[in-house]
Structure 1
Amino acid sequence: MASNEHNKIPVLNVGTFHFGYTPDAHSTEFDEESETSKKQAREVAKLLAQFKPTIIVVEKLPKYDDELNQAYQEYLKNPAELITKDGEISMIAFEVGRLSNVEKLYGIDNHMGYNYSVGDYIERTPELTNSIDPHTYLQITNDPYRDHPEIAEREKQFNQMSLLEKLKLFNEPAQMDYSINTNADKLLYVGIDDGFEGADNAAIFYQRNMRIYSNLNRIPMTKDDRVFILMGRAHTAFLREFIKRSPKFEMVDTLKYLEEY
């Protein structure tokens, strides 16, 4: 575990895929209603609860905090049955909260629409030409793990992995970089003529994540707090970059808390 010698607030920043339906661009098949999935979710929550968080934040809009915590309190009354309606939030974050005696959860999400597929649209449209760097754009699109063949091999087995194994893979540093690349940075190689169609859309996604980080900083906390963040991998990746430079926070090693004991 990282030291806290400068009185920074420790943060366990965990990236996940979204269980069940998601409006995001990327989704993963996961049967949250199966007993195996519920058992695996509890096992993951038990590992993450070793961090002993005092504050838990999730991918919900802050305006829904009352609704979020009403569901959390209902779960605390009957923890024998996992609530699956809110996917990873209710299946993992609620259980981490229960095991850690956390009173309430916070949503820090912010919604902004952007066209993550503008590059693909240009590539598929004969009358349009990517005038910036189509070679690099297509390399990131078609061979994102070129420099990390070991990650590519593990990706091939993704559907056969347990939930814990999936989350270990999702939280690898190379996966964090991939997530920023595929959701935003590859658009910096896309534009029509002298335009900035790619960069302008990437900027919206950057802005969304900066707003998410600002929402995190709205939560009252002291140097005695310990913050657990559970969000989609792309948001986790951006938060990692902000937290690394922060005078306020100190990240712990997520992968250490995903080790079975």
Structure 2
Amino acid sequence: MLIKNLSLFLLIVFISDVALAQKMSIGRADKRQQEIFEQDKPKPQVLLLGIFHFAGEQVDANTTPANLSLDMLSAGRQQQIKNLTKKLAAFKPTKIAIEVSPNLQQYYDSLYHEYCAGKPLTGKYFKPADETIQLGFRLAKMLQLEKLYAVNAQAFRFKLSKADSILTFEKYKDQADSSFTYWDKAYDAEKSHQDSLAFFLPLNKYLEYLNSPPKQAKSIGRWLVTTKRGTNAEPIGADGFITRYFNRNVRIYSNVQRIVTSKNDRILVIYGATHMYMLKQLFAASPEFELKDIMTYLK
């Protein structure tokens, strides 16, 4: 009996030693990985702010009920924007990236210089309530930055040749699947819920909601429902996701990569909230950047 108990004890000790050795080995492996990717050295920091379009129906298709339409130029909303600007200033960004096409970089450079000089702003693309003006320009001027960086991108899906499967989408556009209708209704209901939150919540609280991980994860769900369109031979839904949503966000990420000029850069990216789930994954995975938590600057 004594021998049996001693054997059991030794087995338990052996298992504990193995577990401890494995734990130590994993710990050393993690440390070595950190050394390989130089995680102890300064890297450009990125702060991602998921936003909604302040100008509303002037930017996107207007689906918001009139009684929930936001006036971001009202005195109350202007004070909320000023408060948010002060919170974001604590990040001390050296660069601000905005959802504007690089083709319009010179136009926005000129617009920003006029803004800093206190001149009246005009132009085809100027919208007084736009978040680029109200938040981006305001913050950049406060920090005395020379410019803002246009990093928007469009997907390449419509530039593919006729031989590419994406152009067979029409063949499957009416493909029967009850889940498409079911989830469309769910996302329409969520849109109505968002309209109410945007109208009744203070700006920083609504942005906390838009930037929460569960909300951001759900933001790509409408796309993922449609990835099963087509067939195994012609997976048009998956192609559509890759060549439209995924491709566009990788292009946006690459545009941010190209504005880096120093390891000490602190880049604030102000972009539509529906892009943030994918952008966050890209910046978190990249060995070139240190991704910061936006919630620190919203609460």
Task: Output the TM-score relative to the length of structure 1.
Answer: 0.78
Structure 1 distance, partners of 2:193, 2:83, is 25
The residue aligned with 2:176 is: 129
The residue aligned with 1:191 is: 230
1:58 aligns with 2:58: no
How far off its partner does 1:103 sit?
Answer: 1.2
Structure 2 distance, partners of 1:26, 1:239, is 26
- Paired residues of 2:72 and 2:129 also in contact (CA < 8 A): no
The residue aligned with 2:50 is: 15
The residue aligned with 1:110 is: 153
- Paired residues of 1:32 and 1:84 also in contact (CA < 8 A): no
How far off its partner does 1:49 sit?
Answer: 0.9
- Post-superposition Cα deviations, 1:91-140, rounded to whole Å, max 9, x if no partner, equal 0011111222211110000124879xx8xx95xx5xx413xxx54x5665
Structure 2 alignment gaps of length 5 or more:
1-38, 159-168
Structure 2 distance, partners of 1:129, 1:237, is 29
Q: Decide which of 158, 172, 175 is 2:212's aligned counterpart.
A: 172
SS in 2 for 1:94: helix
**Gap change, CA 1:25 and 1:154, over 3 Å in 2:** closer
- Paired residues of 2:44 and 2:260 also in contact (CA < 8 A): no
The residue aligned with 1:212 is: 252
How far off its partner does 1:254 sit?
Answer: 0.3
| Structure with a larger share of its residues in helix | 2
- What amino acid does structure 1 have at the position aligned with 2:59? T
Q: Decide which of 135, 146, 160 is 1:92's aligned counterpart.
A: 135
**Gap change, CA 1:220 and 1:12, over 3 Å in 2:** closer
Structure 1 distance, partners of 2:52, 2:214, is 16
**Gap change, CA 1:245 and 1:139, over 3 Å in 2:** farther
How far off its partner does 1:52 sit?
Answer: 0.2
Structure 1 alignment gaps of length 5 or more:
145-151
Q: Percent identity, aligned pairs only? A: 26
- Paired residues of 1:129 and 1:192 also in contact (CA < 8 A): no
- What amino acid does structure 2 have at the position aligned with 1:8? K
- Post-superposition Cα deviations, 1:24-72, rounded to whole Å, max 9, x if no partner, equal 6987942123222222111111111110000110000112111112111
- What amino acid does structure 2 have at the position aligned with 1:108? V
**Gap change, CA 1:114 and 1:168, over 3 Å in 2:** farther
The residue aligned with 1:147 is: none
- What amino acid does structure 2 have at the position aligned with 1:16? I
Query: Which range is displaced more, 27-36 or 45-54?
Result: 27-36
**Gap change, CA 1:85 and 1:112, over 3 Å in 2:** farther
Structure 2 distance, partners of 1:158, 1:31, is 11
SS in 1 for 2:72: coil
**Gap change, CA 1:254 and 1:24, over 3 Å in 2:** farther
**Gap change, CA 1:187 and 1:99, over 3 Å in 2:** same
SS in 2 for 1:6: coil
Query: Which range is displaced more, 17-26 or 69-78?
Result: 17-26
Q: How does 1:14-93 map to 2 (within 5 A)?
A: 14-20=49-55, 21-23=58-60, 29-78=69-118, 85=128, 87-93=130-136
- What amino acid does structure 1 have at the position aligned with 2:44? I
- Paired residues of 2:96 and 2:268 also in contact (CA < 8 A): yes
Structure 1 distance, partners of 2:107, 2:292, is 30
Task: Output the TM-score relative to the length of structure 2.
Answer: 0.69
Q: How does 1:143-162 map to 2 (within 5 A)?
A: 143=186, 157-162=197-202
1:224 aligns with 2:264: yes
**Gap change, CA 1:104 and 1:140, over 3 Å in 2:** same
Structure 2 distance, partners of 1:12, 1:25, is 29
